[in-house]
Protein backbone atom coordinates (compact mmCIF):
# COMPACT_ATOMS: atom_id res chain seq x y z
CA UNK A 1 0.00 0.00 0.00
CA UNK A 2 1.29 3.45 -0.88
CA UNK A 3 0.18 6.60 0.90
CA UNK A 4 1.00 10.20 0.16
CA UNK A 5 1.45 12.71 3.02
CA UNK A 6 -0.23 10.59 5.71
CA UNK A 7 0.36 13.14 8.47
CA UNK A 8 -0.84 16.24 6.60
CA UNK A 9 2.17 18.11 7.92
CA UNK A 10 4.59 17.15 5.15
CA UNK A 11 6.97 15.46 7.59
CA UNK A 12 6.71 12.13 5.78
CA UNK A 13 6.48 12.55 2.03
CA UNK A 14 5.70 8.93 1.16
CA UNK A 15 4.86 5.90 3.25
CA UNK A 16 4.87 2.30 2.03
CA UNK A 17 3.10 -0.29 4.20
CA UNK A 18 2.44 -3.41 2.12
CA UNK A 19 0.72 -5.54 4.80
CA UNK A 20 -2.10 -5.12 7.29
CA UNK A 21 -0.92 -6.40 10.64
CA UNK A 22 -4.26 -7.26 12.21
CA UNK A 23 -5.60 -9.44 9.40
CA UNK A 24 -2.40 -11.36 8.69
CA UNK A 25 -1.68 -13.93 11.42
CA UNK A 26 1.32 -15.38 9.56
CA UNK A 27 2.92 -11.94 9.38
CA UNK A 28 2.24 -11.35 13.08
CA UNK A 29 3.91 -14.65 13.92
CA UNK A 30 6.91 -13.87 11.69
CA UNK A 31 7.43 -10.41 13.16
CA UNK A 32 7.04 -11.72 16.69
CA UNK A 33 9.61 -14.42 15.92
CA UNK A 34 12.03 -11.86 14.53
CA UNK A 35 11.73 -9.33 17.35
CA UNK A 36 11.13 -11.44 20.43
CA UNK A 37 12.42 -14.93 19.63
CA UNK A 38 15.41 -13.63 17.65
CA UNK A 39 14.72 -15.64 14.47
CA UNK A 40 16.90 -13.50 12.21
CA UNK A 41 16.35 -15.72 9.15
CA UNK A 42 12.74 -14.53 8.87
CA UNK A 43 14.01 -11.07 7.80
CA UNK A 44 14.87 -12.33 4.31
CA UNK A 45 11.34 -13.31 3.18
CA UNK A 46 9.94 -10.22 4.93
CA UNK A 47 12.29 -8.04 2.87
CA UNK A 48 10.85 -9.64 -0.28
CA UNK A 49 7.43 -8.37 0.76
CA UNK A 50 8.91 -4.88 1.12
CA UNK A 51 10.51 -5.15 -2.30
CA UNK A 52 7.16 -5.95 -3.89
CA UNK A 53 5.70 -2.74 -2.47
CA UNK A 54 8.23 -0.77 -4.52
CA UNK A 55 7.05 -2.22 -7.84
CA UNK A 56 3.97 -0.02 -8.15
CA UNK A 57 5.73 3.14 -7.03
CA UNK A 58 9.53 2.82 -7.04
CA UNK A 59 11.64 5.13 -4.89
CA UNK A 60 13.80 7.67 -6.75
CA UNK A 61 17.13 6.59 -8.19
CA UNK A 62 20.09 6.75 -5.78
CA UNK A 63 17.84 6.32 -2.74
CA UNK A 64 19.66 5.28 0.43
CA UNK A 65 17.97 2.85 2.81
CA UNK A 66 18.21 4.14 6.40
CA UNK A 67 17.12 1.65 9.06
CA UNK A 68 15.44 3.04 12.16
CA UNK A 69 18.11 2.52 14.82
CA UNK A 70 17.66 0.84 18.16
CA UNK A 71 19.34 2.30 21.22
CA UNK A 72 22.70 0.60 21.74
CA UNK A 73 21.46 -1.05 24.98
CA UNK A 74 18.45 -2.65 23.26
CA UNK A 75 20.50 -3.71 20.24
CA UNK A 76 23.13 -5.26 22.50
CA UNK A 77 20.42 -7.14 24.43
CA UNK A 78 18.69 -8.39 21.26
CA UNK A 79 21.92 -8.97 19.37
CA UNK A 80 20.71 -7.21 16.21
CA UNK A 81 18.47 -4.46 14.88
CA UNK A 82 15.52 -5.94 12.99
CA UNK A 83 15.16 -2.79 10.84
CA UNK A 84 18.83 -3.11 9.85
CA UNK A 85 18.32 -6.76 8.89
CA UNK A 86 15.32 -5.82 6.73
CA UNK A 87 17.31 -2.98 5.15
CA UNK A 88 20.28 -5.26 4.43
CA UNK A 89 18.12 -7.85 2.68
CA UNK A 90 16.11 -5.18 0.88
CA UNK A 91 19.38 -3.66 -0.33
CA UNK A 92 20.44 -6.98 -1.83
CA UNK A 93 17.12 -7.20 -3.66
CA UNK A 94 16.90 -3.59 -4.86
CA UNK A 95 20.56 -2.50 -5.05
CA UNK A 96 19.80 0.60 -2.96
CA UNK A 97 22.67 1.12 -0.46
CA UNK A 98 22.14 1.00 3.30
CA UNK A 99 23.39 3.97 5.32
CA UNK A 100 23.13 4.26 9.08
CA UNK A 101 22.38 7.96 8.99
CA UNK A 102 20.64 8.09 12.37
CA UNK A 103 21.45 7.13 15.93
CA UNK A 104 18.94 6.65 18.71
CA UNK A 105 20.12 8.99 21.43
CA UNK A 106 17.38 8.24 23.94
CA UNK A 107 16.73 4.73 25.22
CA UNK A 108 12.98 4.98 24.68
CA UNK A 109 10.39 2.62 26.10
CA UNK A 110 9.08 -0.06 23.74
CA UNK A 111 6.39 1.52 21.58
CA UNK A 112 4.30 -1.67 21.75
CA UNK A 113 3.53 -1.00 25.42
CA UNK A 114 2.29 2.59 24.94
CA UNK A 115 -0.89 4.33 23.83
CA UNK A 116 -0.95 6.87 21.00
CA UNK A 117 -0.19 9.95 23.12
CA UNK A 118 2.59 8.15 24.99
CA UNK A 119 4.12 6.94 21.71
CA UNK A 120 4.31 10.46 20.35
CA UNK A 121 5.98 11.77 23.52
CA UNK A 122 8.25 8.72 23.76
CA UNK A 123 9.83 9.37 20.37
CA UNK A 124 10.28 13.13 20.75
CA UNK A 125 13.94 13.98 20.10
CA UNK A 126 14.88 10.29 20.21
CA UNK A 127 17.24 10.51 17.20
CA UNK A 128 20.39 12.35 16.27
CA UNK A 129 22.40 12.39 13.07
CA UNK A 130 25.16 9.79 12.89
CA UNK A 131 28.11 11.99 11.99
CA UNK A 132 29.99 8.97 10.62
CA UNK A 133 27.50 8.58 7.74
CA UNK A 134 26.74 11.97 6.21
CA UNK A 135 25.09 12.04 2.78
CA UNK A 136 24.48 14.86 0.32
CA UNK A 137 21.33 16.70 1.44
CA UNK A 138 19.60 15.98 -1.90
CA UNK A 139 20.04 12.22 -1.57
CA UNK A 140 16.65 10.49 -1.30
CA UNK A 141 16.30 8.77 2.08
CA UNK A 142 14.09 5.72 2.65
CA UNK A 143 13.54 5.09 6.36
CA UNK A 144 13.06 1.37 7.09
CA UNK A 145 11.18 -0.15 10.04
CA UNK A 146 9.24 -3.32 10.70
CA UNK A 147 5.96 -1.98 12.13
CA UNK A 148 4.38 1.45 12.32
CA UNK A 149 1.29 2.30 14.30
CA UNK A 150 1.07 6.00 15.07
CA UNK A 151 3.91 6.99 12.71
CA UNK A 152 5.63 8.64 15.69
CA UNK A 153 8.96 6.87 15.05
CA UNK A 154 9.00 7.87 11.39
CA UNK A 155 7.92 11.40 12.28
CA UNK A 156 10.71 11.83 14.84
CA UNK A 157 13.34 10.40 12.48
CA UNK A 158 12.08 12.57 9.62
CA UNK A 159 12.16 15.71 11.75
CA UNK A 160 15.76 14.98 12.72
CA UNK A 161 16.74 14.55 9.06
CA UNK A 162 14.85 17.69 8.00
CA UNK A 163 16.54 19.67 10.76
CA UNK A 164 19.84 18.75 9.12
CA UNK A 165 18.69 19.74 5.64
CA UNK A 166 17.60 16.45 4.09
CA UNK A 167 14.76 17.08 1.66
CA UNK A 168 13.54 13.78 0.15
CA UNK A 169 12.45 11.45 2.93
CA UNK A 170 10.31 8.39 2.34
CA UNK A 171 9.39 5.62 4.76
CA UNK A 172 8.65 1.93 4.55
CA UNK A 173 7.35 -0.39 7.22
CA UNK A 174 6.42 -3.97 6.58
CA UNK A 175 3.08 -3.38 8.21
CA UNK A 176 0.91 -0.76 9.77
CA UNK A 177 -0.85 -1.91 12.93
pLDDT of residue 53: 81
Nearest by Cα to 154 from 141, 137, 138, 139: 141
pLDDT at 2: 40
Dump pLDDT digits (tens) for 94-149: 999 999 999 999 887 777 777 778 877 878 889 999 988 889 999 999 999 998 88
The pTM score is 0.88
pLDDT at 8: 43
Whole-number percent of the chain with pLDDT over 90: 50
Q: For the chain, what are the domain ranges?
A: 2-176
Q: Identify which has the larger pLDDT, 165 or 120.
A: 165
Fold of 2-176: Rossmann fold (3.40.50)
pLDDT digits (tens, 9 = 90+) for 17-36: 777 777 888 988 999 899 88
Q: What is the mean pLDDT of residues 55-79?
A: 91
Amino acid sequence: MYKKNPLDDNSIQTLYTPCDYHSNKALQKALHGLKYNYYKDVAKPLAKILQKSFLSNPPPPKTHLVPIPLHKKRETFRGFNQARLLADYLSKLTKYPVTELLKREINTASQATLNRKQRLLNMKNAFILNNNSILDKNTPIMLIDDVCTTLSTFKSATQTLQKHGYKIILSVALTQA
